[in-house]
Amino acid sequence: MGVRLMLFLVAALLLGVVLGTVAHAPLTFSVAVGAVIAVWLGVFALREHRGRDRGTSAH
């Protein structure tokens, strides 16, 4: 549950920051940055999930 909460909080924070920036940025740039953030969060979640399966931290 801790990882999900952290991901939600990070996503909420980024959404607030990005919405202000996106208003002034081109659509293609916004989509590219959103994709990079989504991949980063996915990799982080996968590493956390695998680390938890082994009973150790992923760090």
Evaluate whether 10 touches 48 at the Cβ level (below 8 Å): no
Placement of tokens 């082994």 in the chain: 54
Chain centroid to Cα 8, Å, comes to 8
Q: How would you write the pLDDT of the chain (59 residues) with one tens digit per residue? A: 577 888 888 888 888 877 777 778 888 887 898 899 899 999 998 998 888 777 655 55
3-state DSSP: the chain helix, strand, coil percent, rounded to 5? 85, 0, 15
The pLDDT value recorded for residue 57 is: 55
- Look at residue 55 in the predicted model and tell me its pLDDT: 64
Q: Which of 11, 8, 7 is nearest to 47 (CA)?
A: 7
The Cα 59–Cα 57 span in angstroms is: 5
